[in-house]
Amino acid sequence: MLDDLLQHLGLSALSLKGFGPILMLGTWMTIKLAILSLAVSILLGLIGASAKLSSVKFFRIPAQIYTTLIRGVPDLVLMLLIFYSLQTWLSNLTDAMDWDYIEIDPFASGVITLGFIYGAYFTETFRGAILAVPRGQVEAATAYGLSRSQRFRLVVFPQMMRYALPGLGNNWMVILKATALVSIIGLADLVKAAQDAGKSTYQLFYFLVLAALIYLVITSASNWVLRWAERRYSAGTREAVR
C-alpha cells in the first residue's frame, strides 16, 4: 500500500528497505494515541465547560485557571513538564512506600498529557457551543418536566454538537499532528519510526516525506468523517444562504 502511494507520487525510487512493518506499527500507534487523547480531551472539555458555566465559584475559578494556564504555555513545554513531574511524583511515592521502582508507560503518559492539554481547548469549544443553544429550548424542556441529565442528553447536547463540530474538527486535527511530540518521551509513533528508518538508511528526507503523506491520508479520512458528522447533526436545519 505504501509502495503504491509512493509510486503514484513519483517517490518510489527508494524502497522501504524493510522498514514497512515498523512504519505501519508507528502509524497504528499514532492513530490509537490520537483517538484515546481525543476521548480524554472531550471528557475534560465537557467537565471544564460545565464548570466554567457554573454559578458556583468553587467550580468556575479552577476551570478558568486551567484553561488560562494550558493555552498560555507551549504544548512541548507542557508535555515535558507533565511527563517528568508525573514520573517524579511516582518515584517519590514508591520511595516513601518502599515499593519497587515504577516507570510510567510512555503511551499512557502520552494519552494523559495530550488529553489534559487539549481538554482546555475543548472546554472553550463546548462552552461556546452550549451558550449558542437558545435559552428557550432549555426552558421548554424544563417546563416539560425533564431532569437535568435528560435536558442535556435530549435537548442541549444534539444542538450543542451542531455548533461545536467545526471547533471539534480543528481540535482533532491539531491533536493528530501533536502526537508527533510524544516521540520526545520515547514512544514509537509514526514520526519516531520514520526518524529511525531514515537514520538507519541515511535517507531521512525520504522517510519524513513518507510520514507526511501518511498523516495526509489520515487527515483526509478524518475530514470525510467530520463532514458526515456535520450532516448528521445538521439534519432538520436549513443551511445558511451563501
Reference 85, options 101, 107, 109, 63; nearest CA is: 109
- In angstroms, rounded to a whole number, what is the distance separating the alpha carbons of residues 209 and 202? 14
Q: What percent of the chain has pLDDT over 70?
A: 89
Least trusted range by pLDDT, from 8-17, 22-31, 73-82, 91-100: 8-17
Name the grid cell of 85.
513531574
Lowest mean pLDDT, pick from 69-73, 91-95, 165-169: 91-95
Backbone angles phi, psi at 56, to 5 degrees: -95, 120
The CATH topology of domain 2-232 is MetI-like fold (1.10.3720)
**pLDDT classification of 220: cutoffs 50, 70, 90:** confident
Q: Which is higher by pLDDT, 41 or 196?
A: 41
119-178: pLDDT as tens digits: 999 999 999 888 888 888 777 877 877 777 778 778 888 788 888 888 888 889 889 888
Mean pLDDT along residues 96-124: 84
pLDDT score, position 42: 92
CB 41 within 8 A of CB 122: yes
The domain locations on the chain are 2-232
Q: Which amino acid is at 124?
A: E
Q: What is residue 184's DSSP assignment?
A: G
Grid cell for residue 68: 488560562
Does the pLDDT value for residue 215 go beyond 50? yes
**235: exposed, middle or buried (C-beta count within 10 Å: 0-12, 13-18, 19+)?**
exposed
Residue 102 — φ and ψ, nearest 5°? -120, 125
CA dihedral 114, 86, 106, 43 (to 10 degrees): -30
pLDDT surpassing 50 at residue 113: yes
Tell me the pLDDT tens digit for each residue of 21-41.
Answer: 888 888 898 899 999 999 999
